[in-house]
A and B are shown apart, each in its own frame.
Chain A
Amino acid sequence: MIKQEVHSGIEFYQKKVKKRKLGASLEFITAQLSWQFSGAISCVALLSAYNIITNALNRMALIISILFLIQFAIQYFVTTKISKEITSELGEVTSKTRKLGLLLIPFVLLGNFFMFLSGFMLIQKDKTIEYNLSVYSLLTSIFILLISAMNLFKDSVVETFALGMGIYGAYAIINLVTLIACSKWIQNGRINRKLLFFAILGLVGIITGNVFSFLMGLIILAKYFNKNSETSIEWIDVIRRLFKNYMSCIGMFIIVFLISVSIASLLTFDYDIATLNNYMALLQPPSLMYPFGTDELGRCVFTRIVFGARISLLVGLVSTTIPIVIGGILGAISGYYGRNTDNIIMRLLDILYAVPGILLAIAIIAAFGVSTMNLILALSIGGIPSYARTVRATVMSLASQEFVEAAKACGAKDGTIIFKHIIPNSLAPVIVRATLGIGSAVLSTSSLSFLGLGVESHVPEWGNILKAGSTYLETNPYIAIFPGLAIITIVLSFNYFGDGLRDALDPKLK
C-alpha cells in the first residue's frame, strides 16, 4: 500500500516536471497551437463542405479541409517528436528534429502562420529578441504579399499593383536576409557591426507599417550604441518579456499586420472594387475571385474588409489617444494638486462618467450628423473620465515619493515635476488600459455603424458591412460572417496584446 502511494507520488511529481518543461519550451507551445489550429480549420472546412439539406458538395471547402488535414498530420508528428525529446533524458530538442522546422515554414503560403512561427521557433536554438522580431517582421511581409496576391484572381488589378508587389516582395527578401543575419551575427547577445546596416533597413520598414522590423532596428541600434550591455535598457527588457507570451505575440502580429495591410492597400488594392457597384456579380458566394463573396450591390466583401481595417484602426487609435491626452492631463493635475483642484475636476468628470458612453456617442452623432470626425469625437469624450481616474490614482501614489520630494527641494517647477518626473513613471497602467480601450473603440465604431450612426453607409467599414449582411443572414450568411470574424479577431488581438503588455510592464513579474 505504502509503496504504491509513493509510486503514485513520484508519478505525479514527474508529470508536473514534464508539464513545466514543456510549458517553458517555445518550440513545444508554438507547435501545439499550430496543430490545434490546423485541426480546427480542417474540421470547420469539412463541416461547411457538405450541405445537409441540398446534399451538395462544396469542392473548395473540401480541398481546404484536406490541405489543413495534411498540415495537421505533419505538425502533430513534429509536435510529438518535440515533446518526446524534451521530456527525455536529453531534455532538449535534437538538431535533427530542428531541421524538421524547414518542412513547416512553406505552409505559410496557405495562410497557416502558426506553422510558420512553429517552424522558425524550431530551427533556431538560441532565440534572441532580434531573431524573434525578424521572424514576425518576415511573416508580416509575406502575409501582405499573400493577401495582395489574391487580387490576381480578379479581372483587373489597380495600376500601382505591380509597383506595390515589387516593393513588398523586395522588402520580404530584405526581411529574410535580416533574419538570417540576426541568427548568425548575434553571438551571446553581442551585436556584430555588420548588423547595423540591417537595423537601418528595419527602421525604414515603419513606412510600410511593419512595427516588428522597426523595433528590431531600434533594439540593435540601442544595444550597439549602449556598448552591448543590454541589461541596462529597460524597454528592451519589456519587449523581451512580451515575446515570452506567445498569445500576446499572436495578438501583436495581427494588429501589426492590419496596420501594414491598411498601408499596403493603398498600392495593391482597388478601392473601386470596394465601393463601386457591380451589377453583374450580385450576391456571389465565396470564390477565388471573391474570397468572401460579394454583397447585394456586387461589391467584393474581401476588399471591403481590407479597406475597412483602415477606418477601424484609425478610429480606434485616434479615439483612444485623444482621451489619454486630455484625461491624462486632467488626472495628473488633480492627482498632483489634490484638495479643491482634485474635487472640482473629478466631480465634473464623475458627471461625465455617469453618462453611458454609447448613449453619449449616439447623442453627439445625432446632434452633429454622421461623419468619421464626429464619430471619433463622440467616442473620445466618453473615454476621458476613465483615463483621468487611472492617471490620478498613479500620480497620487507617486507624488509622495522621495524622488518627487527631491525634485521639489531642488526648486523644480510644478509643470516640470508633473511632465518630467511623474507622468513618465505613471504611463504603464495607461498604456495597458489604452490597448484594451482600442479594442472596445473598434467595437463601438462597428456598433454605431451597424445602427446607422457611425461612418456613412457606403464607406467600407466593418460595422457597415455587417449591417448589409444582416439582411441576408439566411440566404447569404458569408456577407455577415466575415466582417463579424474580422471584428472578433481585432478585438481579441488587442485584448491578448494588452494582457501580455500588462504582464511585461508589471515590475512584480520581472
Chain B
Amino acid sequence: MNFKKLLSVFLIGGLSVVVGGCSNETENTITDNVASSLPAIRILGMSSSEMDLNILADQLKKAGFNVELNVQPDYSSFSTIQDTGEWDLSLTGWTTVTGNPDYAVRDIFASTGAYNSQLLNDPKVDMLIDQAATETPQVYKKTYTDLENYLVNEQAYFIPLYSSLRMQGVNNSLMEPTMRQPKSRSSVWEEYTYIDTALNETRPFIMTQTSATLTSLDPIQANDGSINQLSSNINTRIISLTDEDVVEAKGSLSYNFAIAQGNKEYYFLLKDNVNFSKVEDKKAVDTGVRVGAEDVVFTLNRAKDKDSVPLHKTYGLHLHMDEISIVTDLNELNTTITADTGVPILETLTNGLNVSVTALTDDKTQADNNNGVYQVVKVTTLNPFPQVLNYLAHQSAGIVSEEQVTLLNSKFDVENYDATKDVGYGDFNAIKSGDNHLWMSGPYALTYVNDYEVAFQKNPVYMPETEHEPRIKDIVIKFIKDTTSANSAFRSGEIDFLSTVDVNHATLLDAEEQFTVMKRSSNAVSYAVFNLAEGNLFTDVNLRKAALYAVEQQPFIKVKNDLVNPAFSTLSTIIDTGNVHISDLEKSAEYLSKYFAE
C-alpha cells in the first residue's frame, strides 16, 4: 500500500519533468552553413594567448567554419611551425617600439619584411610603404590611410583584433605613481626616485622581467623584449622620444637636432658631459673616456653595415642611412637651411643654449661646451626619410665605445664567427660568467647578471648636476617567468615595480590601496594573419573577407575587462585613420557564397 502511494508520487513527478522538458523551447545548434563543407581552418598561436585563440576560434565556429587549434608553448616552437607553413591563420602581434608608422608596416607587410610570415607579396603595398616613407607627417597620413584601407578593406590580408594598454604597477608607498609612461620607448630609469629621497643612495629599486636569457648586449645584435629596456638604459642615443612618440633632443646626448631642407641631411649638436662607465668588482666606475662624435659615427656606421657583426638583428632599421660624419666647418651650419622653419641650421641647433658655438672639433677630448667648443654629427639618408629620427631613437642606435668594441670584435672574423668560442662585444654568456667587458654610455651600467637577476648601478659621469642625472643608485631586475608569480611577488612586497600588469590582475591590484596600476595606450597590436603562400585556402580574397567579417572585436575587449582598445591595423595606434572594424555575419555569408560561386 505504501508503495502504491510512493509510485503515484514518482509518476507525477517524473511526468511533470518530462512535460516541462517538452514545453521548453528547443535550440537549433549552429546554423548549417556552406562553410562547414570547407576543410578545417588551422589556427596557430602561442599558449600565452590562449584566451584570444579561443575567442577567435569560437567566432569563426559560430560563423560556420570548421576550426582546428594548434597551440604552441613558446615563441620558438611557434615560429618553427610558422616557417613550415602548416597553418591557415596565425595569431600574432606587433609592437611599434620606434613610434613611427614606417616601422609599423614595413617589416610585416612589405614583401621584403623580416617578419612577413604570411608571405604577403603585393606590389601595391610595397609601393605605398615606400611612398609614405619619403613623406612628412602632414602628407603621409593620407598615404597610410590608403594603405590601411587596401590591406584590410580591399584585400583582407589580416584580421585586426585589438591594441593592448601599457599597464605598470607601482608600489605607491615607495614611489609616486607619476613617473613617465612612454607609449613606445622604454622606461626612463634616470627619472625614477623614491618618495623618501634618502633611500635613493641606499636602497636598490627592484623590478622584474620574464626573460632570463638576454639575447645580446650589443645594441645592434638584438631587438626583443629580453633586452629592450636594459639596452635603452645602459646606452644613450643622440635623440629621444617623448611619451607621445615625438622626436626630441631632451634626455639624449644632443642639445638639439635639425633637419636640413630636402629631408636628407640631419644635424646633431652633442653634449660633452657623458663619460663611458665600466664595471669593476660589481661596481660602476668612470672610464674617464668621454662619449663623443667619433663614437656616434662609429656606432651608426656599424649599425648600417650588414656585416659589421655576426647576427646583425637591426639592419632593417638602419639601412636608410647613407653617410655619417663629424662637421668641423661652422660655415656649413650657417649656410644650410632648416627644413620647416627656414632658419640656418646653426640657429636651430643652438636654440636655448647658454654658451654659443664658437668652434667645432672632430676630437672629443678637445670639446669644451663651456668655452664654446662643440661637436656636431651629420647623418644623411639615401632617400628623403624624415622617420630616420625615430630609428635613431631606438635602443639599437645606442652609442657604444669605438675603442672597446673594436678591441673585442677585432679578435675574430665576422665571416668565420663561431658562437661557441668567439666572444664578441655584448656576449651575454661571457658577461654572465663574470667577464663584463661593456663600456656603457647610458645613465646606468650593468654590473652583473646571473640566473635570477640582472643588476645596474648609476653611471658616475652621466650629465652630472642636470635634471638627467640618475637619482636612484642601484636598480635590480629579477627574472620571474610568469605573470602570475610576478604579480604575487609584487603584492608581497618582494618587488617594487611591475613592468607589465596582466589584464586579469589589474582590478585586483587597483583594489589595494598600496598599489597603483598606471594605464596608457601603447603601440602593441594583436591581429591574425592569413597564410598567403601558394596553394593555401586563404589565397582567395572572398574567403579571407568571409573570415574577416565573422570576427568581432568587442568580445576580446569584454573578456579583457575593457583593458584593451579596438584596432584596425598596426597603424591605428600611431595615426588616426578613422577606420573601424565592424563585423557583419551577413557580409561574411555573402562573401562565402561568392567564394563558392567561383
Contact = CB atoms under 8 A, between A and B. Distances in A.
A111 interface: no
Contacts of B559: 279, 282, 296-297
Interface in A150-194: 152, 155-159, 161-162, 164-166, 169-170, 172-173, 176-177, 180, 183
A177 B7 contact: yes
B2 A152 contact: no
B26 A161 contact: yes
Interface stretch (A1-9, A42-50, A408-416, A451-459): A451-459
Nearest to A456: B69
Contacts of A102: 2, 5-6
**Looking at chain B's contact residues, is the secondary structure mostly helix, strand, loop, or mixed?**
helix
Contacts of B58: 276-277, 297
Given A276-B58, A277-B58, A162 B27 contact: no
Interface stretch (B48-56, B207-215, B274-282): B48-56
Interface in A424-459: 452, 456-458
B55 A277 contact: yes
Interface stretch (B8-16, B318-326, B571-579): B8-16
Contacts of A183: 3
Interface stretch (B17-25, B134-142, B403-411): B17-25
Interface stretch (A301-309, A341-349, A471-479): A471-479
A252 interface: no
B343 to A, nearest CB: 57
Nearest to A98: B2
B54 A270 contact: no
Contacts, number: 106
Contact of A173 (B10, B25, B73): B10
B21 A165 contact: yes
Contact of B555 (A161, A279, A457): A279
Contacts of B554: 279
Interface residues of A, number: 44
B558 interface: yes
Contacts of B57: 458
A176 B10 contact: yes
Contacts of B507: 475
A161 B57 CA distance: 27
Given A102-B2, A279-B555, A457-B54, A157 B24 contact: yes
A177 B14 CA distance: 14
B2 A123 contact: yes
B31 interface: no
Contacts of A276: 58, 61-62
Given A452-B47, A457-B54, A458-B57, A152 B10 contact: no
A282 B21 CA distance: 26
A109 interface: yes
Given A471-B484, A471-B504, A176 B24 contact: no
Contact of B18 (A157, A162, A456): A162
Interface in B215-238: none
A272 B30 contact: yes
A172 B10 contact: yes
A162 B22 contact: yes
Q: Which of A102, A155, A169, A452 has the most CB of B within 10 A?
A: A169
A152 B6 contact: no
A139 B263 CA distance: 85
A474 B487 CA distance: 13
B420 interface: no
Given A152-B20, A474-B508, A277 B555 contact: yes
Given A173-B14, A276-B62, A458-B69, A161 B21 contact: yes
B227 to A, nearest CB: 27
B312 to A, nearest CB: 33
B18 A109 contact: no
A169 to B, nearest CB: 4
A169 B558 CA distance: 41
Given A176-B6, A279-B554, A457-B54, A169 B28 contact: no
Given A106-B9, A297-B51, A145 B61 contact: no
B15 A169 contact: yes
Interface in B511-556: 554-555
A164 B504 CA distance: 40
A363 to B, nearest CB: 14
Interface residues of B, number: 43
A123 B20 CA distance: 31
A138 to B, nearest CB: 9
A169 B26 contact: no
B591 to A, nearest CB: 23
Contacts of B10: 172-173, 176
A105 interface: yes
B29 interface: yes
Interface in A87-113: 99, 102, 105-106, 109
Contacts of B13: 109
Interface string B325-342: 000000000000000000
Q: Which of B11, B27, B504, B559 has the most CB of A within 10 A?
A: B27
B309 to A, nearest CB: 35
B26 A157 contact: yes
Contacts of B6: 102, 105, 176
A180 B27 contact: no
Contacts of B128: none
Interface in A261-313: 270, 272, 276-277, 279, 282, 296-297
B359 interface: no
B71 interface: yes
Contacts of A370: 71
A169 B17 contact: yes
A73 interface: no
A456 B11 CA distance: 43
Given A99-B2, A279-B559, A180 B7 contact: yes
A149 B20 contact: yes
B26 to A, nearest CB: 5
B11 A173 contact: yes
Contact of A165 (B5, B17, B55): B17
A234 B195 CA distance: 82
Contacts of A106: 9
Given A157-B26, A180-B3, A475-B507, A169 B71 contact: no
Contacts of B25: 156-157
A162 B555 contact: no
A173 B204 CA distance: 74
Contacts of B9: 106
A310 to B, nearest CB: 18
B572 to A, nearest CB: 22
A170 B17 CA distance: 11
A296 B51 contact: yes
Nearest to A270: B27
Contacts of A170: 14
Contacts of B30: 272
B28 A159 contact: yes
Interface string B149-191: 0000000000000000000000000000000000000000000
Given A102-B6, A270-B27, A475-B507, A157 B484 contact: no
Contacts of A156: 24-27
A183 B10 CA distance: 18
Given A149-B21, A158-B27, A180-B7, 13 more contacts: A156-B26, A157-B27, A159-B26, A159-B29, A161-B21, A162-B26, A166-B18, A166-B21, A272-B30, A277-B54, A279-B558, A297-B58, A474-B508
12 contacts: A106-B9, A158-B27, A161-B24, A162-B26, A165-B17, A172-B14, A279-B554, A296-B504, A297-B55, A452-B73, A457-B54, A458-B54
Q: What are the 4 A-B residue pairs with the smallest beta carbon separation, nearest first?
A: A156-B27, A165-B21, A169-B14, A279-B555
Interface of A: 99, 102, 105-106, 109, 123, 145, 149, 152, 155-159, 161-162, 164-166, 169-170, 172-173, 176-177, 180, 183, 270, 272, 276-277, 279, 282, 296-297, 370, 452, 456-458, 471-472, 474-475
